Amino acid sequence: MDQSELHQWEERCIQDQPPQCTAACPLHVDVRGFIGRIQAGRWAEAVHILRKTMPLPDLLGRICDAPCETRCIRSQCGDAIRIGALERACVRSHPSPLSAPAMPARNKAVAVVGTGLSSLTAVWDLIRKGYAITLMEPGPQPGAELVQQHRALLSPGLVQGQIDGLKTLGVQLQVNVSIDHEDFPGDLLKTFQAVYIGLDSVQPAAVWPPESRRVEARLQQTGMAGIFAGGTPPSAVWQAAQGRWAATTIDRFLQKVSLTAGREKEGPLDSRLFTSLKGVAQAPAVVMTNPAAGYSIEEAKREADRCLQCQCLECVKSCAYLETFGAYPRKYAREIYNNASLVMGARTANKLINSCSLCGLCETVCPEDFAMQDLCLQARQAMVQKGKMPPSAHEFALLDMEFSRSERFSLARSAPGTDRCRYALFPGCQLCAADPDKIKPLYEHLRSVQQGDVGLILGCCGAPAHWAGRQSLYREVCDALTRQWQDMGRPHLIAACSTCYQMFRQNLPEIAVQSVWPILAHSPLPSAAGNGFSSPVAVHDPCTTRHEPHIQNAVRHILDRLGIAYEELSPGGEKTECCGFGGLMSNAAPDLAMEVVRRRSRLSSHDYLTYCAMCRDSMAAVDKRTLHLLDLLFSSAAPADPAGRKRTGWSRRRDNRSRLKNGLLAEVWNEAPAAGTGHQPFELHIPPEVGDVLESRRILVEDLQQVIQHAEAGGRRLRHVESRHFKAAWRSGHVTFWVEYAPLGDGYEIYNAYAHRMEVSFP
């Protein structure tokens, strides 16, 4: 990712866009932060937030006409928040005396003519930048015009107090200044380096040079160099804004830098920030007991409580993964970019990158289609290319994929007695691993309902390599699959796993693929299908069917035909959630994956029904009763209570695949078992609690066998002085496995096992 790509990613996430109120405000007051503090009862902090952007809050806070309210999202669910009234309540109860840190003097003098709000704002901004300010009032009483304009809200004493405050900061005040002569602007420029004329309180004299009366909006400069002006709008906050913009222009003019650079975002803006109103109850504005006095503190607090504190976070609200890392995609994009650019030190975003399930829910719920899965997958691919992918992140899943591609499982056969076929069932590695008994009935059923020969391919679609960012390995898998497919006569693949379906569709366009479910939905159902199932189920759609409504609909059609009542999970359909297996989340972040599936499992008390073997097993791992659709279709091949069966362990998943292959070879094709499958050198007795430990540590029975085999064949082992157990280690691939065991009958009893990746040697 280069800088411009990063910026494209960042731009797409709208969470940092300003709330509509702030965007509408010519001064960009942080209204959300201000009201948030009132909600928390932290009034002093609320004032502090006003002071950061609002000039002279004791004045403007009382008279602001609050254009922000016109864009308040709350107005769609009741009235707009009374932001102006909240500002008044705040500044009335918490006055903020004018103070500013002493700035080094700049030796440049600015005259500010008029004592209206725009002039006072310009004075406030310029004095804090170190300019010598002379404030000139044509009348006898400074601030009189301002009081006149806002009689109900401003007292003469309050305005005088503000002007006195400016004087204590060093402002020179002159009253009764004569301005009605034609040389007035030009004469000022003999003494001052710049002049601001506040048109909200001063009428330019008709005798002034015409160019000094021509004002360019936003920059607030006139046609006469050194003369600036503003304050014409009737709105108080716009007067203040023009005073502020004039001060900025004067500062730049005096520093001889660009007047315009970087000022594109001044004034009201559009904002793309989206805020959901889902679940927001209608609520009208809090009524003032005494409108003349404004909100009381207590009323203001209640009114503030109506504020939605607008933000988007649509994706974060929908995804435990995005929530876990404590920020949102815009920030994550930056973290991922920094992670890749790091030369020395810890790559702290590795976990962030590798934990995403790549399920695409964020993109579906995002108003701007931010695809975290694309960001993470690209980052993984880049890490692999640079040799910076942590080896442990995906290794277990990649080894499992290698198993699926090996002679111990891989198989490609045309229908018995043929050497080419029109269709081929591709059940997928994990369905075979978890539910091998359903494969033969499914295959035979398809042979009976499809017009044309149906072959079979056992193998892996390559999803683990793709998800792990191993592009060259994935291409290798695809090439091998393509060769198998060509050898079988280019059959239409029938995928029983929606991940395989997605992989083929997205990455192997020359291979025609269809999902098994629409085929089953629109052909005779197996006899005895659905027998014995009556209670309603809740349908969990695998995340890889998110954009495949025809598959989701086919599954419901099958349920209808079976007479099985079902309910929809919410979120479901295109907003369905991953079970925690997708994207290898359960490899890189097992705890998070458990949390993800736990959340999903709590959406309904009914048994779930799904049509992905990994979804079923992930649910089973958190004790959520879950059926696979094949349990209903081929109930005679299902155990007594299929929804209640436990998750299939890692070792069993391998045994199942090998047994399935050999069973099919023998029963369907009359062939001998494949070499290297099914042989166990000796029996291992593994108590259930030890089995659970092995599962959580992803240690296979064959790992244990390797260790014991080497230790017992003259390798070295340890012996415990009390228990008399043996302990031995063996390094297989990048992992050293330790096993604590003792002989039992013809085999061994296992007491414990653990693993590490470091290599240890003596000395």
Partner 1 sequence: MITESATAQEMKWTCDQCRCALVAGQVTVSYMGHRFTTELPHCPRCGLVMVPESIALGKMAEVEQILEDK
In DSSP terms, which residues pair with 750 in a beta bridge? Answer: 741
For the CB of residue 728, give the shortest distance to partner 1 in the complex, in Å: 9
| 425 or 699: CB nearest partner 1 | 699
| 278 or 716: CB nearest partner 1 | 716
| 100 or 718: CB nearest partner 1 | 718
For the CB of residue 752, give the shortest distance to partner 1 in the complex, in Å: 7
For the CB of residue 350, give the shortest distance to partner 1 in the complex, in Å: 5
For the CB of residue 356, give the shortest distance to partner 1 in the complex, in Å: 17
| 550 or 719: CB nearest partner 1 | 719
Q: Which two tokens stand for residue 344?
A: 């020395």
| 746 or 762: CB nearest partner 1 | 762
| Residues contacting 55, CB < 8 A, separation 6+ | 27, 120, 121, 124, 125, 240, 243, 244
Q: What angle do CA 674, 680, 682 make, to 5 degrees?
A: 160
Task: Give the whole-angstrom CA distance, residue 336 versus residue 6.
Answer: 9
Number of neighbours of residue 483 by Cβ within 10 angstroms: 11
For the CB of residue 340, give the shortest distance to partner 1 in the complex, in Å: 13
8 Å CB contact between 215 and 222: yes
For the CB of residue 721, give the shortest distance to partner 1 in the complex, in Å: 5
| 113 or 750: CB nearest partner 1 | 750
Number of neighbours of residue 754 by Cβ within 10 angstroms: 14
Q: Which two tokens stand for residue 72?
A: 């308040």
Q: Which two tokens stand for residue 333?
A: 């994009």
| Residues contacting 751, CB < 8 A, separation 6+ | 690, 723, 725, 740, 741, 742
**Cβ neighbourhood burial of 403 (10 Å; 0-12, 13-18, 19+):** buried
| 393 or 429: CB nearest partner 1 | 393
- What are the helix (H) ranges across 210-313? 236-255, 297-305
Task: Give the whole-angstrom CA distance, residue 100 versus residue 98.
Answer: 7
| 42 or 756: CB nearest partner 1 | 756
Task: Give the whole-angstrom CA distance, residue 729 versus residue 737.
Answer: 5
For the CB of residue 239, give the shortest distance to partner 1 in the complex, in Å: 55
8 Å CB contact between 412 and 484: yes
Q: Which helix (H) or strand (E) holds 538?
A: strand 537-539
For the CB of residue 731, give the shortest distance to partner 1 in the complex, in Å: 11
For the CB of residue 713, give the shortest distance to partner 1 in the complex, in Å: 13
- Cis peptide preceding 95, ω within 30 of 0: no
User: Hey, is 626 helix, strand or coil?
Assistant: strand
| 99 or 761: CB nearest partner 1 | 761
For the CB of residue 725, give the shortest distance to partner 1 in the complex, in Å: 9
Residue 256, amino acid: K
8 Å CB contact between 393 and 354: yes
| 622 or 728: CB nearest partner 1 | 728
**Cβ neighbourhood burial of 255 (10 Å; 0-12, 13-18, 19+):** exposed
| 207 or 718: CB nearest partner 1 | 718
Please report, as ranges, the residues that interact with partner 1 according to CB under 8 A. 345-348, 350, 390-393, 716-722, 726-727, 729, 736, 738, 752, 754-763
For the CB of residue 722, give the shortest distance to partner 1 in the complex, in Å: 6
Strands (E), 305-429: 411-413, 423-426
Residue 331, amino acid: K
Instruction: Tell me which residue of 230, 237, 231 sits closest to 60, measured CA to CA.
Output: 237
Mapping DSSP onto H, E and C, the string for 658-711 reads: HHHHHHHHHHCCCCCCCCCCCCCCCCEECCHHHHHHHHHCCCCHHHHHHHHHHH
8 Å CB contact between 480 and 461: no
Task: Give the whole-angstrom CA distance, residue 302 versus residue 39.
Answer: 8
- Cis peptide preceding 138, ω within 30 of 0: no
For the CB of residue 638, give the shortest distance to partner 1 in the complex, in Å: 38
| 352 or 543: CB nearest partner 1 | 352
For the CB of residue 686, give the shortest distance to partner 1 in the complex, in Å: 17
| 335 or 444: CB nearest partner 1 | 335
For the CB of residue 342, give the shortest distance to partner 1 in the complex, in Å: 9
DSSP symbol at 283: B
| 383 or 637: CB nearest partner 1 | 383
Stated length of the chain: 763
